[in-house]
Amino acid sequence: MANSWFQFQQFRIDQDNCAMKVSTDAVMLGALADAGSPREILDVGTGTGVIALMLAQRFAEAKIQAVEIDPQAAAQALDNFRSSPFSDRLELWEGRFQDFQPSEKYDLIVSNPPYFPDHLKSSDVQRNMALHTDELSFRDLLGKMIQLLKTDGEFWLILPQRQMQDFQKEAASHGLFLRIKFTLQDKPGKRILREIGSFSRKKTEFKATAIFIKNEDGTPHESYAALVSGFLLGFMT
């Protein structure tokens, strides 16, 4: 998935100016995030714009607002929005999420956030911004997000397992609780690569659901195929 562009069934992502290319993480979040029938959606740290575009495809009545701090990524995401069939329902705001001041609140907020607070950094400033929490800590993300989420809204994100545990603790201190969790594994029996969680103000019991990318023989697992059907080429509905 590291080409300068990535073709989906209904739209194309140009990504040569983005530090973070289209990834399985983004595709999984775009396929899973839900809040009933959301009309107002916010994508925090949109990058290429792929999650916002997937949500625009899934929710035909929704208006999607995307936020991106990196000027190069923001410009490319905007181009991807404008060339898509959903251009009239997509907007982009460039800047720090902490400074974002919309006039509305949101039914659904999603983020594939940076999660390395102490990871060894590279010389690539743009990639560091996408991966490290210097510009957007979990506390800052939650503090701003809770202001923008409707009372019955849901916040979805994807993180590695340890960081999801840290985020869950921080979320609870803001009055948000894990409602739904999916675990992502390459194959059955392999380690958990990522966790996708939905947080809301309602404190309820949840059960983790496993998603496997591949079967033992390398073919796509049915749990993965069902999610990407209608999005990725080769997975037609």
pTM: 0.90
Contact predicate 42/110, CB 8 Å: yes
pLDDT at 2 over 70: no
**Poorest-confidence range of 83-92, 116-125, 139-148?**
116-125
Domain spans of the chain, in order of start: 5-228
| Residue-level pLDDT at 81 | 98
Give the pLDDT band (50/70/90) at residue 167. very high
Cα dist. 139→110, 168, 170, 173, 197 in Å?
16, 11, 7, 10, 17
Q: How confident is the model over 179-208, as a mean pLDDT? A: 95
Using one digit for the tens of pLDDT, what is the confidence trace for 202-219? 998 888 999 999 999 999
Using one digit for the tens of pLDDT, what is the confidence trace for 74-114? 999 999 999 999 999 999 999 999 999 999 999 999 999 98
Q: How confident is the model over 144-169, as a mean pLDDT? A: 96
pLDDT at 129 over 50: no
Q: What is the mean pLDDT of the chain?
A: 91
Domain 5-228 CATH superfamily:
Vaccinia Virus protein VP39 (3.40.50.150)
